[in-house]
Amino acid sequence: MVSLTRQMIEIRSILNKISNKMSESISLPAIVVIGSQSSGKSSVLESIVGKDFLPKGDNMVTRRPIELTLINTKENIDEEDHQLNEKKKRTKIFTGGDIDDDYLVDFPQLREYNISSFSKVKSLLVDLNLQVSTKEFISEEPIQLVIKSSKVPDLQLIDLPGYIQIESVDQPAELKHKIRSLCDKYLQKPNIILAISSADVDLANSTALKAARQMDQKGERTLGVITKLDLVSPGQAAQMLLNKKYPLKMGYVGVVNNNKKTTEKGYFEKNKLFFKNCQFSNRKLRKKLITILEMTMSKELKPTFIKLQQELDNTSYRFKVEFNDRQLTPRTYLLSQIDVLKLAVKELQDLFSRSELKSILRQELDQEVLNILAANYWNDLENENVTNLVGNTSDEKALSYWHKNLELSTSSLTKLGIGRMTTSIITNSILSELNNILYVLQPNSFKQQGFLFTLVNDIAIQVLNKNFYSTADQVENCIKPFKYEVEIEQRDWDDSKQNSVLLLKEELKQVEENKFLLKNLLTGNGGSKQLQQLLQFIKQRVALANGKVLEMNKLEYDGGFSKILLEKGKKYIDLEKREQLLKFRIKFINGKQCRDAKSMDKCPEIYLKAINEKLISTAVLFLNIELLSDFFYNFPIELDSKISELSIDDIEMFAKQDNKISKHIELQKRKDLLELALNKMNNLLLYEKISKKQNKNL
């Protein structure tokens, strides 16, 4: 049977998970250790633990209480473990003296667990103490320390700061107040007080006994410990232990902590006769502490049970009123959110239908067609000399101009790297749609910077990347024939004719808009008259330059316009020309001259647009099979697998980003933990009842 203390420690740690305040309000008894500096307090604690673990030295003053939980691990060690431990013990010499594998230490507040190096334990204790500034002197916030070993008993000890004893006259009032409140907090019922006094100091002056008496006037909860018996005569020592001068119900235990001169065992054997009716030795002290704590715990069972029950009732009521008893854990919440995400991604699949894919690609590739047209034709056509060629169909020079340019343009278009280009357009488009979905989802962690945002994006990128290059290659391979020859049927030509007119009209609209904006900008400064003057000035200068009348001073003359204004004016004129040109081309390709594919040389807009459509259709075919089907199939699978790898902490962090969910989860957790604690306590009470009955029957 696991000791009662151990079970209560477990219950306490369950309550601790709710909040430290919770375990304070439902107080399970602990042993509070007090003693003035150098009284031998550290030696006593270390003897109970069996290990040198407290930082020492003149500068080291404890500023915070240490809540020391000892857990006996003996029952848990089976034969195999035992052999392992023995082996480890043998190799200990090589691992360094401060490491003991039979001791594992936890600092729950620091999330540091299973430390086996005691120099690390000491340094963490120093760090935690130094968190309290010298200005504050002491803090009520305890350091939690759990030591698990087969060599320690199940005990809960609280080591109070050494300051508590130095209540001297020159201390500031504020410190006195702090010490008082710390004492009030820890030395009250149902805690047991372990008051440590040194034998070489008169008990009347023992600060530990004084402090104990203030909180436990009848001496019912105080156990006295007298250290350093070896420093006084055995007779004197025995007198102190006999509990006559300052009686305590639980009496005094005398100890001699190992020092250079004598061992405890040697000392008591030598002076056996003196200590006949006394309680002595560290062993005795340990045993006594275990029994006292068990008894006190047992007494506290019922009242604690009632308090817990009340707490649970309150919590359950709140849970019903506020959350309608709806069960929610961080994981179920996360999974429900992931379901929403998956559903939205599934809907996204419909959005990426073939026709939608085409229109996404068209947006970008049409722009490429316009760029090629501008580079290979329009810039030329703006030049008046070439414009003259347009009507002149029989002119050989003209024919060759149109033919060569069309070949050049077709090759530019088909050699753009359509494979990579289209694959990356669609990849980016999926990612940006995914971001839109994430943005609409509720918890912030789905959004920028939230860890799920990054996680989901990374998964999407990973799934898409897997097929990126093979898809790009496939597309590129399949458009290869178009690099050599393209056959265009009359129906395709007619469609393309209409579409290219629309495309040019769209472009014309853009040019007109830009022109309009620029005009507003230019007339804003000085009215339309000044604009006319500016344009005229620029046109004249261009004419001068074109006509090669290079009168340098005239070309450099700025007509009183600023450089920026001149640049803007030039741009305006360019737009004007482009506008005229587009109007002309729209009329031209709409007309009889572009009736069929035979006239493709002179109607490059229609021809290129027709090729563009073929490229797009081919690309879409493969993008759909190679990239999209695979993405929509594998993304949810990858998502599930990555989600299942998330740590509990990550999931909780995610859920708690939403305030309402966080409250819901907290309350549910509180309720669950209270139920668990209460359940354990109920079992303990039942067990107590049965064993009492059995004892009676015996």
Of 42 and 474, the one with the shorter C-beta distance to ligand GDP is 42
Query: Closest approach of Cβ 231 to ligand GDP, in Å?
Result: 5
**Rounded-to-integer distance, Cα 74 and Cα 151, Å:** 8
Stretch that binds ligand GDP, among 31-39, 131-139, 202-210, 603-611 (CB under 6 A): 31-39
Of 42 and 315, the one with the shorter C-beta distance to ligand GDP is 42
Of 275 and 352, the one with the shorter C-beta distance to ligand GDP is 275
- Cα 564 to chain center, whole Å? 51
The sign of the CA dihedral 322, 327, 328, 332 is negative
Residues 41-60 that bind ligand GDP (CB under 6 A): 41-43, 56
**Rounded-to-integer distance, Cα 213 and Cα 197, Å:** 13
* Closest of 487, 510, 483, 492 to residue 606, by C-alpha: 492
What are 560-564's contacts with CB under 8 Å, separation 24+?
Answer: 561/534, 561/537
Instruction: Tell me: does residue 282 bind ligand GDP (CB under 6 A).
Output: no
Of 35, 50, 419, 569, which lies in the binding site for ligand GDP, with binding defined by CB under 6 A? 35
Query: Closest approach of Cβ 284 to ligand GDP, in Å?
Result: 14
**Interface map 458-487 toward ligand GDP (x if CB under 6 A):** ------------------------------
Per-residue HEC secondary structure of 646-659 comes to CCHHHHHHHHHCCH
Query: Closest approach of Cβ 201 to ligand GDP, in Å?
Result: 11
Of 228 and 585, the one with the shorter C-beta distance to ligand GDP is 228
Of 56 and 554, the one with the shorter C-beta distance to ligand GDP is 56
Of 230 and 294, the one with the shorter C-beta distance to ligand GDP is 230
Helices 354-373 and 490-546: angle between axes, nearest 10 degrees: 30
- Cα 294 to chain center, whole Å? 42
Of 7, 139, 149, 257, which lies in the binding site for ligand GDP, with binding defined by CB under 6 A? 257
Calculate ∠ Cα 258-261-267, nearest 5°: 65
Instruction: Tell me: does residue 62 bind ligand GDP (CB under 6 A).
Output: no
**Rounded-to-integer distance, Cα 146 and Cα 49, Å:** 11
**Interface map 424-463 toward ligand GDP (x if CB under 6 A):** ----------------------------------------
Side chain identity at 576, as an amino acid letter? Answer: E
Of 225 and 301, the one with the shorter C-beta distance to ligand GDP is 225
b or e along 624-659 (b: 16 or more beta carbons within 10 Å of the residue's beta carbon)? bebbbebbbebbbebbeeebeebeeebbbbbbbbbe
Query: Closest approach of Cβ 639 to ligand GDP, in Å?
Result: 57
Helix (H, G, I), strand (E, B) or coil at 98: coil
Output the six-digit token pair for 525. Answer: 């400064």
Phi and psi at residue 47, to the nearest 5°:
-70, -35
Of 62 and 423, the one with the shorter C-beta distance to ligand GDP is 62
Query: Closest approach of Cβ 64 to ligand GDP, in Å?
Result: 15
Of 33 and 475, the one with the shorter C-beta distance to ligand GDP is 33
Stretch that binds ligand GDP, among 32-40, 341-349, 369-377, 494-502 (CB under 6 A): 32-40
**Rounded-to-integer distance, Cα 680 and Cα 476, Å:** 69
Q: How many residues bind ligand GDP (CB under 6 A)?
A: 16
Instruction: Tell me: does residue 510 bind ligand GDP (CB under 6 A).
Output: no
Of 42 and 499, the one with the shorter C-beta distance to ligand GDP is 42
Instruction: Tell me: does residue 40 bind ligand GDP (CB under 6 A).
Output: yes
Of 259, 349, 530, 624, which lies in the binding site for ligand GDP, with binding defined by CB under 6 A? 259
Of 226 and 459, the one with the shorter C-beta distance to ligand GDP is 226
Of 216 and 230, the one with the shorter C-beta distance to ligand GDP is 230
Output the six-digit token pair for 91. Answer: 């190799």
Preceding amide of 190 cis, omega within 30: yes
**Rounded-to-integer distance, Cα 480 and Cα 477, Å:** 5
Residues 601-630 that bind ligand GDP (CB under 6 A): none
Query: Closest approach of Cβ 157 to ligand GDP, in Å?
Result: 14
Phi and psi at residue 692, to the nearest 5°:
-65, -45
Instruction: Tell me: does residue 39 bind ligand GDP (CB under 6 A).
Output: yes
**Rounded-to-integer distance, Cα 617 and Cα 358, Å:** 7
Side chain identity at 674, as an amino acid letter? Answer: L
Of 193, 223, 256, 597, which lies in the binding site for ligand GDP, with binding defined by CB under 6 A? 256
Of 66 and 608, the one with the shorter C-beta distance to ligand GDP is 66
Place of tokens 């930082």: 55
Helix (H, G, I), strand (E, B) or coil at 273: helix
Place of tokens 């009632």: 306
Stretch that binds ligand GDP, among 39-47, 76-84, 325-333, 464-472 (CB under 6 A): 39-47
* Closest of 306, 384, 354 to residue 581, by C-alpha: 384
**Rounded-to-integer distance, Cα 224 and Cα 252, Å:** 4
Of 154 and 230, the one with the shorter C-beta distance to ligand GDP is 230
Helix (H, G, I), strand (E, B) or coil at 697: helix
- Cα 173 to chain center, whole Å? 44
Output the six-digit token pair for 165. Answer: 């004893």
Of 3, 20, 27, 37, which lies in the binding site for ligand GDP, with binding defined by CB under 6 A? 37
Stretch that binds ligand GDP, among 36-44, 63-71, 96-104, 240-248 (CB under 6 A): 36-44
Query: Closest approach of Cβ 255 to ligand GDP, in Å?
Result: 6
Strands lying side by side in the sheet with 252-254: 112-115, 103-107, 143-149, 66-72, 155-159, 31-35, 192-198, 222-227, 252-254, 279-280
Query: Closest approach of Cβ 277 to ligand GDP, in Å?
Result: 21
Query: Closest approach of Cβ 230 to ligand GDP, in Å?
Result: 5
b or e along 486-499 (b: 16 or more beta carbons within 10 Å of the residue's beta carbon)? bebeeebbeebbeb
Of 28 and 44, the one with the shorter C-beta distance to ligand GDP is 44
Query: Closest approach of Cβ 236 to ligand GDP, in Å?
Result: 14
Query: Closest approach of Cβ 257 to ligand GDP, in Å?
Result: 3
**Interface map 225-254 toward ligand GDP (x if CB under 6 A):** --xx-xx-----------------------
Stretch that binds ligand GDP, among 8-16, 133-141, 222-230, 377-385 (CB under 6 A): 222-230
**Interface map 146-185 toward ligand GDP (x if CB under 6 A):** ----------------------------------------
Chain residues that interact with ligand GDP, rule: CB under 6 A: 35, 37-43, 56, 227-228, 230-231, 256-257, 259
